[in-house]
A and B are shown apart, each in its own frame.
Chain A
């Protein structure tokens, strides 16, 4: 990959492969009406920052960083929409073959995460995406120890709200 001339086809392919990251971030940080805008903004910012991607870190990690920064600084800092996600914002497709309790729990998980402060939301999001503590620290710019301490607190809070027993390592 050339740093000077970004390979657009490769970039599009990589973004397409990891599109789920963008969907999840849009779902967490934007209300329904702003979601499409945020999706486009993230893709644009990824492309704009692409020449700085050195390839020494995982594309996925780099994508998390740019997408989260865009969601927080690009959209939220500009519009200052501290929207709490409503049931309408958390539409889950109807599926008669699935357990309804499960659906309710997923909705609750999203709602509880959306109520967290922005930094905590980012930390738990990256944790749920199974990023390592080091990766979370690198993306957010806070220390690994701080990530660890915060995660314990956030997970406890979420478990309490969702009435889940502690099964985590």
Chain B
């Protein structure tokens, strides 16, 4: 049986193209060490940063719990926040574990993309909300700690308090969501490309990506300005 001419051309061409390539064993080992260290640093940074926020929350909450011990309403609020924070911490660790799993490239291409899509659609979406709530808990507890008046915390303007908290949540969540949306949209398009066997969708995505970027920058600036404006009014 005669070998396909394409295979013949491919083999011959590659024999010539790569005959000058020189990647020896030492270079492979060196790449491995450099990349492994870099990879670990990235993972460690995310883990440490996320863990640090939760630990700071737990410490602050415990301090506040001691400070507001004679205020039964605050005790319940703080205990529920501690329970919530511990839950987020555990959930966050699970998310990081899952994230490492879906980036294991030894699975088939199709499975890998499906898994990544599932991750970004389900657990990561939940994590985005919880991470934003964590930041709000941190912010609120700093205020609770600073403004502790013998176990009493007075909210002078409830509407403003709720408004500012909500705006802060929206800004934090919005910024994270915008960033993740880019990745998710690209993945969705890529999966569709693979299923339909067409690159058109991804190429369209790439064009619209820049337009979305500037739209999101505008939304972010608007929300930040609203927050600053709200704070300035509250300070008057």
Tell me the complex Cα distance, A91–B205, Å.
31
Name the one of A82, A91, A119 contacting B203, with C-beta atoms under 8 angstroms.
Answer: A82
Q: For the complex formed, measure the closest distance between the CB of B233 and the CB atoms of chain A, giving whole angstroms.
A: 43
* A48-B39 CB under 8 A given contacts A16-B28, A53-B106, A140-B109: yes
Q: How far is the CB of A100 from chain B (nearest CB, A)?
A: 12
> Quick one: which of A8, A13, A167 has the most chain B CB within 10 A?
A167
Q: Which residues of B contact A48 (CB under 8 A)?
A: 36, 39, 104-105
Are A52 and B106 interface neighbours, CB within 8 A?
yes
A140 CB contacts on chain B under 8 angstroms: 108-110
* Chain B nearest CB, measured from A142 CB (Å): 6
Residue in B closest to A150 when the chains form the complex, CB atoms: B197
Which of B3, B32, B116 makes the CB contact (< 8 A) with A43?
A: B32
A105 contact set on B, CB distance < 8 A: 9
Cβ–Cβ contact B6 & A164, under 8 A? yes
Chain B residues with CB under 8 A of A150: 197
* A interface residues with partner B (beta carbon < 8 Å): 8, 12-13, 15-16, 19-20, 22-24, 27, 39-41, 43-45, 47-49, 52-53, 62, 65-66, 68-70, 72-74, 77, 80, 82, 91-93, 95, 98, 102-103, 105-106, 109-110, 117-120, 122, 127-130, 138-142, 150, 155, 158-159, 162, 164-165, 167-169
Cβ-defined contact, B9 with A139, below 8 A:
no
A16 contacts which chain B residues (CB < 8 A)?
A: 23-25, 28
Docked-complex contact A119 and B194, CB < 8 angstroms: yes
- State in angstroms the CA–CA spacing of A144 and B65 once bound together: 63
Contact with A along B3-22 (1 / 0, CB 8 A): 11111011111101111110
Task: Check B18 against A69 for contact (C-beta < 8 Å).
Answer: no
A12-B28, A106-B16 given as contacts; is B111 within 8 A of A45 (CB)?
no
B26 (CB) vs chain A CBs: closest residue = A12
Q: From residue 111 to 128 of chain B, which have CB atoms closer than 8 A to chain A?
A: 111-113, 116
Contact call B34/A69, Cβ cutoff below 8 A = no
Name the A residues within 8 Å of B21 (CB-CB).
19, 23
> Across the two chains, which residue of chain A brings its CB closest to B206?
A80
Residue numbers in B under 8 Å from A93 (CB-CB): 16-17, 19-20
Could you tell me if A120 and B35 are in contact, using CB atoms closer than 8 angstroms? no
CB distance from A119 to the nearest CB of B (A): 5
State which of B44-52, B160-168, B185-193, B218-226 sits at the interface with chain A.
B185-193
Contact yes or no, A40 B35, CB < 8 A:
yes
**A-facing residues in B172-231 (Cβ within 8 Å):** 186-187, 190, 193-194, 197-199, 202-203, 205-206, 209
- Report Cα–Cα, A19/B35, bound state, in Å: 17
Q: Given the known A-B contacts A39-B23, A106-B16, A118-B194, are A155 and B6 also in contact in the complex, defined by CB atoms under 8 Å?
A: yes
A130 x B7 contact (CB < 8 A): yes
Q: Are B13 and A92 interface neighbours, CB within 8 A?
A: yes
- 21 residue pairs A–B, Cβ–Cβ below 8 Å: A8-B32, A13-B25, A20-B18, A23-B18, A24-B18, A40-B31, A65-B109, A69-B105, A69-B107, A80-B186, A80-B209, A109-B9, A110-B13, A117-B197, A118-B194, A119-B109, A119-B197, A138-B108, A150-B197, A164-B5, A168-B4
**Which B residue sits closest to A158, measured CB to CB?**
B6
B236 within 8 A of A: no
Among A41, A139, A165, the residue within 8 A (CB) of B35 is: A41
